[in-house]
Chains A and B, each alone.
Chain A
Amino acid sequence: MVKKIVFSFLFACLAFIPAMAQEKVEMADVMRSNGKIYVVVAVCLTILLGLFAYMFYIDRKISKIEKHKSH
């Protein structure tokens, strides 16, 4: 009886092996192979650089106000 259970369990495990081997994790490999991912990087970098340029601009503006001799 125990033997039967163990073997059927092992058999059941065997049945999982091909399923696990087949399960490939899908990634955006096509996007990488045709280079479209660089478009995404370019867009994000543009936004980032724009934001930082704006930050530096505000920073300079506040520095100017601080230096300004007014009461």
Chain B
Amino acid sequence: MRTLPAYHNFAPLFEKSIALRKHWWKILSLLLLIYTIIGGFLLDVPRLFILNETIRNLYFHVCMWMGMMVLFITSVIYSIRYLLKFNYREDIYASNFAAVGTFFGILGYLTGTIWANYTWVTDQHQSLANILKEPKLIGAAIALLIYGAYFVLRASFTDIDKRARVSAVYNIFAFAMLFPSIWIIPRLVGSLHPGSPGSDSGNPALNFNDIDSRLRMVFYPAVIGWTLLGVWISTLRIRFELYRDKNVLHG
């Protein structure tokens, strides 16, 4: 255990969040991402039709969604904790994890549009209409919009207790909607996105059952690295808000 010499006044406030200020996992995140970039660009990848060299996007685009999931799961856990104890601190945690999660989701969506533009549209003679019908895209957009509404909802309250309470309930709803919209429905209906039934896109990868071991070697460390980076950004925001609202938290 580390001692806290200089924290006389804020000791009770920051004691619990001491893990946030440990450094080893931040350095781990840096090392994993350095490995992701070096290994991701230089190591051998399977030669796949249509995808060609773009399969390396797996180390970046997919990791954004994985990171988003971890952040949203953390967020909903803090929302539930808030509803159990009504401790304002939990609301700060929940909202900031959701914020960074949404940010990762937007990054995942943007990178997905770029990737799809070069692998779905041109090579397979897909028209824009086909792309717009994509259940994966629609589902992901719905999920992100639901989380967007979470922040609109938060911003519309002036009373912090009311805001915390209503948005915690809404966060649980948003999290529950996440699963049908991005995980279940795209797997029920045909989609161009790898991993769905009827995705005759001609590439065997990304079906996690038979994803190539060469890809796994970089993919798993990449997921951990990007996720840790997301958690780090969240903790910085949380620590800032804990400091900003210290009077409310003390009172």
Structural contact, B243 and A27, CB atoms closer than 8 A: no
A65 at the interface (CB under 8 A from B): yes
Interface size (A, Cβ < 8 Å)?
A: 24
Interchain residue pairs A-B with the least CB separation, the first 8: A25-B47, A67-B6, A28-B53, A44-B37, A52-B30, A41-B41, A62-B239, A27-B53
B7:A67 contact, CB within 8 angstroms: yes
Chain A residues whose C-beta falls within 8 Å of the C-beta of B10 in the assembled complex: 66
Given contacts A25-B47, A25-B48, A27-B47, contact A45 B239 (CB under 8 A): no
Whether A45 contacts B49 by the Cβ 8 Å rule is: no
Given contacts A48-B30, A62-B236, 5 further A-B contacts (CB under 8 A): A28-B52, A37-B41, A59-B232, A65-B243, A66-B7
B residues in contact with A62, CB < 8 Å: 236, 239-240, 243
Residue of A27, A37, A69 with most partner-chain B CB within 10 A: A27
With A28-B53, A67-B6 as contacts: A41 and B42 at CB distance below 8 Å: yes
B9 interface contact, C-beta 8 A: yes
Chain A residues, Cβ within 8 Å of B47: 25, 27
Classify chain B: how many residues form its interface, as a range.
Answer: 20 to 34
Residues of A within 8 A of B (CB): 23, 25-28, 37, 40-41, 44-45, 48-49, 52, 55-56, 58-59, 62-63, 65-67, 69, 71
Chain B residues near A25: list those with CB within 8 A: 47-49, 52
Contact B26 A44 (CB under 8 A): no
Show the binding face of B for A, using Cβ within 8 Å. 6-10, 14, 21, 26, 30, 33-34, 37-38, 41-42, 47-49, 52-53, 229, 232-233, 236, 239-240, 243
Instruction: State A28–B42 Cα separation when bound (angstroms).
Output: 11
Task: Write the chain A residue with the least CB distance to B53.
Answer: A28
Q: Which of A40, A45, A52 has the most CB of B within 10 A?
A: A52
Query: What number of A-B contacts does a CB cutoff of 8 Å give?
Result: 58
Complex Cα–Cα for A56 and B229 (A): 11
> Within the complex, which residue of A44, A52, A56, A66 is in contact with B41, where a contact is CB–CB below 8 Å?
A44
Beyond A25-B49, A28-B53, A69-B8, whether A63 also contacts B21 by CB under 8 A is yes
Q: Can you spell out 21 A-B residue pairs with CB atoms less than 8 angstroms apart?
A: A25-B52, A37-B41, A37-B42, A41-B38, A44-B37, A44-B41, A45-B37, A48-B30, A48-B34, A49-B34, A55-B26, A55-B229, A55-B236, A59-B232, A62-B239, A63-B21, A66-B14, A66-B239, A66-B243, A69-B6, A69-B8
